[in-house]
Amino acid sequence: MRPSQDDQKIQWSVISVILIGTFMAVLNGSIVNVALPKIMAIFNATSDSIQWVLTCYLMTLGVVMPVTGFMADRFGYKRMYFIALALFTAGSAICGLAWSINSLIAARIIQAIGGGIMTPLGMAFVYRVVPRNKIGLVMGVWGIAAMAAPAIGPTLGGYLVEYVSWRLIFYVNVPIGIINLVLSSILLSETESIKGKHFDFTGLISSIIGLFCLLLALSQGSKHGWGSPYIVSLFAVAATALSIFVYNELTHPEPLLELRLFKDFQFTVSTLIGITLNIGMFGGMFLFPLLLQSVLGQSAMKTGLIVFPSAIATAVMMPISGRIFDRYAPGE
């Protein structure tokens, strides 16, 4: 007799592969921050152009993530995870070889395509292999990679920039990525492909246009003026495209994103809390290093050490909160 899901053991070998990939993807969203002043000096870049090293990464994540579910169902979870990890590793190598600010931005987009697929696929793998009564514990461990990486990034990046080379913040991903490619090919099991699904092209195109224009307007607003025709036009296009996206997702038989989930109160509240936390974390991780180095004159290493305590607090609390979740389920 096959054991029930609650009696199954946690497949920590699979979880370890997912943790490594998630940590690499999320870490690169913040490890670059303390290297920005150094990169600006080397490539003689302006502050407006250097911000695209981060902005293009986040914008690409936003565009790729919604498509991940369909591609995983269509081509298999293992195959898509392997491709994403390979793209991320190759993008990291190209970032390290960058010869100009534009080449670095292009390589970051390649990185983000892989990272944008890996992060949601990693969570999907966790839910497939972990018993429901242990999901809180495992998600707490997974959260160390997802939430502590943005805080650890500046510390690690500061050390590499000050004592070695800024290029190593990208090169360090290459051997880890290759090892994880081997592990994923051995340890992950392929899922059955789901054929016959209709791809939501309207949802994809409207989400790409809407998110791109919205993020571009938010990143360029201070430069051109929030009331300028250029920025106002971007906001108008974003609002129109995202409105089309929402309407399409609510009426499409196989939507790109199942927005009806927001009818669940707990899901909606937890999502809003997560958005708020990520705005504070990623916004602070971008601005704080620039403030410490460019305005207050701190070194890259000291900047990293200043923000490091938050990583320790996050790493300690994640497994604890997971245990609390397993014992006291929400709504009970």
Q: Give CA–CA dist 2/261, Å, rounded.
A: 32
Can you tell me which residue has the tokens 């430069």? 223
Cβ atoms < 10 Å from Cβ of 159: 17
Q: What percent of the chain has pLDDT over 90?
A: 14
Of 4-18, 19-33, 224-238, give the lowest mean pLDDT range: 4-18
The model's pTM: 0.77
Averaged pLDDT, 273-290? 74
What is the tens place of the pLDDT at every residue in 195-237?
Answer: 767 778 888 899 889 988 887 888 778 778 888 889 999 999 9
pLDDT at 186 over 80: yes
Answer yes or no: is pLDDT of 332 > 60: no
Say if residues 49 and 101 touch (Cβ distance below 8 Å): yes
Residue 254: the pLDDT is 81
Mean pLDDT of the region 101-127? 86
* Weakest mean pLDDT among 104-108, 117-121, 216-220: 216-220
- Residue 148's pLDDT is 66
Q: How many whole angstroms separate alpha carbon 247 and alpha carbon 243?
A: 6
Alpha carbon distance, N-terminus to C-terminus of the chain? 31
Task: Answer for the pair 81, 21: CB distance below 8 angstroms, yes or no.
Answer: yes
**Residue 2 pLDDT > 50, yes or no?**
no
Residues 241-261: tens digit of each pLDDT: 999 999 998 888 888 788 888
Select the highest-mean-pLDDT range: 36-40, 136-140, 268-272. Answer: 268-272
**Which of 42-46, 81-85, 165-169, 280-284 has the weakest average pLDDT?**
280-284
Torsion angles phi and psi, residue 195, rounded to 5? -100, 160
The pLDDT, as a whole number, for residue 178 is 92
Looking at residue 163, its pLDDT comes to: 81
The domain ranges of the chain are 14-198+299-327
d(CA 139, CA 82): 22
As a whole number of angstroms, the distance between CA 38 and CA 161 comes to: 8
Superfamily, domain 14-198+299-327: MFS general substrate transporter like domains (1.20.1250.20)
Residue 9: phi and psi, rounded to 5, are -85, 155
| Residue found by looking up tokens 């994403």 in the block | 84
* Cα–Cα separations (whole angstroms), residue 208 to 71, 73, 214, 273: 16, 21, 10, 24
SS3 annotation, 171-187: HCHHHHHHHHHHHHHHH
Closest CA to 83 of 117, 120, 56, 57: 117
pLDDT at 223: 76
pLDDT of 1 strictly over 60: no
Q: Mind listing the pLDDT tens digit for each residue in 135-177?
A: 777 777 777 666 666 667 777 777 788 788 888 888 988 998 9
Higher-pLDDT residue of 78, 239: 239
Which pLDDT score, from 0 to 100, does residue 91 have?
92
pLDDT at site 18: 83
Q: What is the mean pLDDT of the chain?
A: 80
| Nearest-angstrom CA–CA distance, 203 and 167 | 37
